Structure 1
């Protein structure tokens, strides 16, 4: 996804049109935006395994989300496949790890994360679960060729929509749709990208009308040269914009991971500019999901000038989850940009850019006020055990914003 949908309510459209006709600058927000979270398949292998049961544990996330995108299904060798048979189908969860409190038996054919998702769906039938298809851009480009397209899509539909997960393992109805994460179609692939989505739409509708087809896209339409964004949007239910990674440890200087907005003089990328660019490209506002990262990037050997922001430093390899950042709060100072509300953490040497409950609520407020389709969280396993960030997003989307932070912090202006 970074390492690596919304069915539009008729009333929402009608009232939004009325608002525009009356000269209002944005549609009337009469429906709560959708809260989408990606579930990490690889969480099973963490030092502290992240499993489906964690979605319903104390402080759990399932009651808060509307949709779970399961990451991931593989796209390779001209067809779809289960990405990790051990994690998805075979792993035997203990009673303590299982959604229903019953241990998996070695004799039962269907185990793993996907069986746990099936149990979760029975307990929370309101949740929609999608499979996120991920793979190399070259594989997607091959699969989208006219001679390969129909058979490739048929394999994805057969496994994940019809539920033929493996010989002897059938779970029809487990997935409510497909999320396509092609990073990124080159200009010669533009027409095939659109045609691939049209084929997904055709075959999915033939199985069960109402299945969701969604895509994840980069933070600018310029990453999709030659693509007719409006035509693509007409085929899908949601367009999840990866509005993060505007800076990271690949840069020699520190910065803000995913600032919502900035002063006019600021030259870097922002979420607001990214969303505006996709709107201008023809994506309906109600189909846009704002991406929100639940992870942090860091640098060390950072000088103290400007409290570490936009200073030279040595990037720290990889990312860290929000729960890790919480362990640093007592030994660092939290600073906040007054324009974007984005926080950063600095102890005089090490700098971290991340999201916290204040910035997440601010973004959710923006999404709600602007009539966006909702938020897209990457990813659920990086929140803390109390679902602090997800709860902040959920409250704000429901109009219960976190107005003030009780955490000690310094609000400072971002240098231009």
Structure 2
């Protein structure tokens, strides 16, 4: 048994009256005692005492303790105004020696300088159950908090202060505060009877489906009016228990009264609910199982009526899905499209319902056009040189018919970089062979001529090249120009097919010229193109089986002047007017008279070969096998009076292939058959496998031409060497530029690189 030594404030005399010889001696115990002065420990001893000894006497006898309710002196350490004694028993601070000490305890007394007393304060926060703060009190440690004034709330009685929101643990007002504390102010609602005026059951749905969890059942919350009314009596009946079962229950999760309804069979049934004497009827539509979910073997066991009901239900669901999908798309359209933008935005490319299809349209493909970017369907946006409003249209087709949605979207304009004053490089781009623009070539080309718009049947049509706009118009922000090239769309009568009227007929009258001019300029302004390139081959002659007339030359002159005037009168004052001209008909274009109307003339210095014998089709200089050359063509066009520094010559990014017979050292002048055109890319892959070690390739320094001859085939074409030589010659002649037909016929940028590096 552990013996306990009791310490008291006053010394209780202990008188030993003597012991009988056979009485037990008092037991001995010990504790550890430490004493510290201001700087160091001066005592560290184990003190032994008898069970009847008094601690204060022990300390007095061993350490000269002077104690008067507090320590006045111990081992020559004196209590003073500037010092005090700190008593610690087993690590717990004591304010005096009035405590119980036990065997093996640890007593420590420290002589310390006086400091400001540390008073620990705690915060008692009084809150309502919604955690709003009602009052806050700051209390010294071990003191009692003064409770706030009893709160009053209309319709409620104050229940008391509690340590929890559930009002389980009440806060005792005389509790000593030893930590921060939250006390809740709890009220009890004053019960009053509220007369029920109406009832409602909030069912999520009044449509259920047989044997199809979770669609076969629902729960509805009973709601009474006015607020505060309580359920006193209730009842429920079902009009057809074979189709529907229902009951009222208390939800264990929230304690609220609800109505459970479950579908047993398809058809219709009512649930009549009566609460506090007020009845409401709820009519449920009960659908059969979904046709597509019925196993094959069960289908044939069903009645015809149920099969028919499932078919009708499926058609209803499909129609409903279409209606919901159309509504969803319309909501998205109304809320998701911007009013103004400079950046692309997402579009819906397809419907979630099989019977709904979507088609997007835009009023200006040069500015806004639907496309895919990284597999995401978006409206790509391209800023042009003026502010513009584009109409984005969505056509929705469903079983209910067609709906058309439109949205006006404004796109602010940008300032275009000026066209360079140096000689330019023009690239002809065909919509039907377009494969994109190589990144390296973007900086090499100044003007992209998009091909071809047409003049046919007395009208101008731009439809065939609209597909190029999304790809090329963004390049204008890099200082590039996009010019529309217009081709003669007429054809002579042949094989019973009547003549299609083209350029010749369209410009034969003043009215016709004005109509074509107006349509061209309106198109240029609408799509913010940078000019018009006329590719009529040609006035007074026919290279493409197109109708022509002796009057074409004069009419062409009148047409060009009217076109130039209309372009100059348009909002764009920097529009280019150019023409692609056959090198063998320089005088048919009235260039001496139109030199101030055209900005550039592109001489088509290719297709100059003979039809029956092998020869060069795109020679730079005249010589053997070169009946026509760039040298000859430039001289003829300069002779018309047109300035040389606004002439360009063409590089052929394609070749001509003959099947030849006979023998020759170089293949020139042989009879050829089956002449056909092939892109440089195809020639390069099939006949010119290694530029550094060409086989059957010949070159002429006289005509600056390259050709292929293997004894059975003759191919006239331009390789990088021939293109480079032509570019050097054009640069030396001071020409206004170079162009090529056709950009996408190149192979890995070889010809474009040779042209650029030697012309620029």
Partner of 1:100: none
Q: Distance in 2 between matches of 1:272 and 1:322?
A: 23
Gaps of 5+ in 2: 1-419, 491-500, 541-549
**CA contact under 8 A between 2:619 and 2:626: conserved in structure 1?**
no
Partner of 2:592: 230
Q: Distance in 2 between matches of 1:322 and 1:307?
A: 20
What are the Cα deviations for residues 92-123 of structure 1, in whole angstroms up to 9, with x where unaligned?
Answer: xxxxxxxxxxxxxxxxxxxx32122223333x
**CA contact under 8 A between 2:613 and 2:670: conserved in structure 1?**
yes
Normalised to the residue count of structure 1, the TM-score between the two structures is: 0.72
1:61 match: secondary structure: helix
1:213 aligns with 2:568: no
Normalised to the residue count of structure 2, the TM-score between the two structures is: 0.40
Q: CA deviation at 1:343?
A: 0.6
Q: Work out which of the two has the higher radius of gyration on C-alpha atoms and give 1 or 2.
A: 2
1:143 aligns with 2:523: no
Q: CA deviation at 1:146?
A: 1.3
Q: CA deviation at 1:39?
A: 0.4
Q: Distance in 1 between matches of 2:716 and 2:517?
A: 39
Partner of 2:552: 189
1:80 aligns with 2:438: no
Q: Distance in 1 between matches of 2:438 and 2:620?
A: 30
1:42 match: secondary structure: coil
Question: Residue 683 of structure 2 is aligned with which of 317, 325, 328?
Answer: 325
Closer, same or farther: CA 316–69 of 1 in aligned 2, 3 Å: same
Bigger strand share:
2
Closer, same or farther: CA 61–113 of 1 in aligned 2, 3 Å: same
Q: CA deviation at 1:72?
A: 1.1
The residue correspondences of 1:331-370 to structure 2 (distance < 5 A) are 332-370=695-733
**CA contact under 8 A between 1:180 and 1:216: conserved in structure 2?**
yes
Number of matched pairs: 315
Q: Distance in 1 between matches of 2:737 and 2:699?
A: 24
2:628 match: secondary structure: coil
Q: Distance in 2 between matches of 1:306 and 1:216?
A: 36
Partner of 2:424: 34
The residue correspondences of 1:363-378 to structure 2 (distance < 5 A) are 363-378=726-741
Q: CA deviation at 1:247?
A: 1.1
1:392 match: secondary structure: helix
Q: Distance in 2 between matches of 1:348 and 1:315?
A: 15
Partner of 1:297: 656
1:277 match: secondary structure: helix
Partner of 2:10: none
1:132 aligns with 2:494: no
Bigger helix share:
1
1:272 match: secondary structure: helix
Gaps of 5+ in 1: 1-29, 44-49, 90-111, 164-170, 399-416
1:247 aligns with 2:622: no
Aligned residues: CA RMSD: 2.1
Partner of 1:5: none
Q: CA deviation at 1:341?
A: 1.9
